[in-house]
A and B are shown apart, each in its own frame.
Chain A
Amino acid sequence: MNRDSGTRRRSGTRAELAGARAARRRQRLERGLLAGAGLVLFAFMAAPLVGLFGTASWSEFVAGLKHPLVWPALRLSLITSSASLACVVLFGTPLAWVLAPSPRGARLVETVLQLPIVIPPAVAGIALLLAFGRRSLLAALYPSGWSISFTTTAVVVAQVFVSAPFFVQAALSAFRRLDPHLLLVARSFGAHPLRVFARVGLPLAAPGLLAGALLSWARALGEFGATLMFAGNMEGKTQTLPLAIYTAMEADLRAAQSLSIVLVILALALLVGVRALLRSLETAEPR
């Protein structure tokens, strides 16, 4: 009797074990399936990078960099993207500061500010031409025969237009993360708006602002479509790195590749910087 129930229990255990093993196999299979599907996209995303870096030898890369298009374009890109970043930060920070406390009334303004993220760059280029170009309403204010379009300034204008949303969005969320009591307390001492902004808002939101500035700079550096439409593709004047890549492609793929590698390395450095900043932001958050 005793032994009977004992064997029954053992055989029951064996069946249970087999069942558990099957369930585990099934779990492994399902997990593998999900991971496999994800891996397909990852491999696809990584392939262009591998192509870009894997098909160039060091000497080819260096030779490509000696192409006459490269240095004027690199120089212009650095100058214009720095200028556009300065504009974006100088005007975008106060804008975000003013919008931050009023989430409801600001929604329309925020939507307008975000639009450049989703509209195609070519459309942005046309819109900029119609707003600031030779046939715009503003043209009446220009000296005759002159227009901002197709100048180096136009490159900066296009970059500001497409990159500002990234900074403003980051600045908005950085300011909204601030404890509103900090601002109330500062005001209760008699601190005036500029002081609250400069001594409380800016330092506490600094990591978020910096991360936004880096993102915005990366976007400006990569700007192509709107620049082409609004500023053109003139060597030394409006031909930034992405436009130089486009031009070089037609004659010398190696030069285009070298330029691309330079841009990818810059972008990668920015991305790593932004992620490190955002991480420090999360860990430094009090409470």
Chain B
Amino acid sequence: MTALRARLSGRIGALPLEFELEVARGTLAVVGPNGAGKTSLLLMLLGSLVPEGGRIELGDRVLFDSEAGIDVPLEDRRLGYVPQRYALFPHLSVRDNIRFALQSSGLSGSELETRARESLADLKLDAFADRRVTSLSGGEQQRVALARALSVRPHALLLDEPLAAFDIAARRETRSFLADYLQRLDLPTLVVTHDAGDARALGQQIAVLEAGRIVQCGSWAELGARPASRFVGEFLRV
């Protein structure tokens, strides 16, 4: 079982960032208010933002190490990335979104087509396969984004505010689908969210982020029983 381990420092504007986290099995939900550094953390792990210092390991691979001068490019990190609003390719069909991912990872021919079919089936997308992604509902788009990210068999999964685009009614349904799906998925997963309810539903472990650092990490029950600070207590009571 691969684990994603990271110890990172950097800054956004004047705010210093200092993170240390580990995701082995299941989902770590990183929760915090806007501006706490959630997106920066995600982009550092992904490899599009260079940390000032620290180290990122994925299983036995070192993705980043400031002292050893290692910085594996984003293209070679093998991290599944589902950004906010999913960033599906609007000019491609559902199937071609997935085929694009598989082609980019170096697959071709019948192997590619088999994998594309598997990915579509896994997220029950067969019925939409030839539709334009722009014609899909939010929940369907999210499934396409998941299928596309997972089709290339990443070693870990990063999700940025996966539920922010939904209204309250659709949110509950999508949230429980996503929670179930991620639980069955045997992959270290990191979800970034500003919503404590989402964090509770999706994360077996929850890391609370405040002003650039993780102030507490644990299960929902642990955080609720012994909040490390007033901020954590207030934030989780939402």
Contacts and interface: CB of A to CB of B under 8 A. Distances in A.
Contact of B104 (A179, A184, A191, A204): A191
A127 B227 CA distance: 71
Nearest to A285: B90
Contact size class for B?
20 to 34
A189 B82 CA distance: 11
Nearest to B151: A189
A229 B10 CA distance: 55
A181 B84 contact: yes
Given A204-B90, A286-B90, A286-B134, A186 B100 contact: yes
B75 A181 contact: no
A199 interface: yes
A188 B159 CA distance: 13
Contacts of A200: 89
A191 B74 CA distance: 10
B3 to A, nearest CB: 19
Contacts of B149: 185, 188
A192 interface: yes
Contacts of B80: 188
A190 B117 CA distance: 20
B83 A181 contact: yes
A185 B76 contact: no
Given A190-B76, A190-B105, A190-B106, A185 B81 contact: yes
Most chain B beta-carbon contacts within 10 A, residue among A182, A190, A191, A200: A190
A188 B156 CA distance: 11
A25 interface: no
A21 interface: no
B153 to A, nearest CB: 11
Most chain A beta-carbon contacts within 10 A, residue among B77, B87, B104: B104
B89 A192 contact: no
Most chain B beta-carbon contacts within 10 A, residue among A182, A188, A286: A188
B79 interface: yes
B154 to A, nearest CB: 8
Contacts of B147: none
Nearest to B87: A181
Contacts of B171: none
A190 B100 CA distance: 10
Contact of B48 (A184, A189, A204): A184
A61 B196 CA distance: 76
A188 B75 CA distance: 5
Most chain A beta-carbon contacts within 10 A, residue among B46, B91, B105, B149: B91
B48 A199 contact: no
A188 B76 CA distance: 8
A26 B104 CA distance: 66
A219 B74 CA distance: 41
Interface in B48-92: 48, 74-81, 83-85, 87, 89-91
A200 B101 CA distance: 12
A148 B24 CA distance: 66
Contacts of A135: none
Interface in B126-155: 134, 148-149, 152, 154
B100 A199 contact: yes
Contacts of B78: 190
Given A199-B100, A286-B134, A188 B74 contact: yes
Interface string A163-203: 00000000000000001011011111111100100011001
Contact of A179 (B74, B87, B134): B87
B87 A184 contact: yes
A189 B105 contact: yes
A179 B89 CA distance: 10
Given A182-B89, A204-B90, A190 B152 contact: yes
Nearest to B97: A185
B85 A181 contact: yes
Contacts of B48: 184, 187
Interface in A190-246: 190-192, 195, 199-200, 203-204
6 contacts: A181-B84, A184-B81, A184-B83, A185-B149, A191-B100, A203-B91
Q: Which 3 A-B pairs have the closest CB atoms?
A: A191-B104, A181-B87, A189-B104
Given A186-B104, A188-B79, A190-B76, 17 more contacts: A179-B87, A182-B89, A184-B46, A185-B83, A185-B148, A187-B74, A188-B80, A188-B81, A189-B101, A190-B75, A190-B78, A190-B104, A190-B105, A190-B106, A199-B100, A204-B89, A286-B90
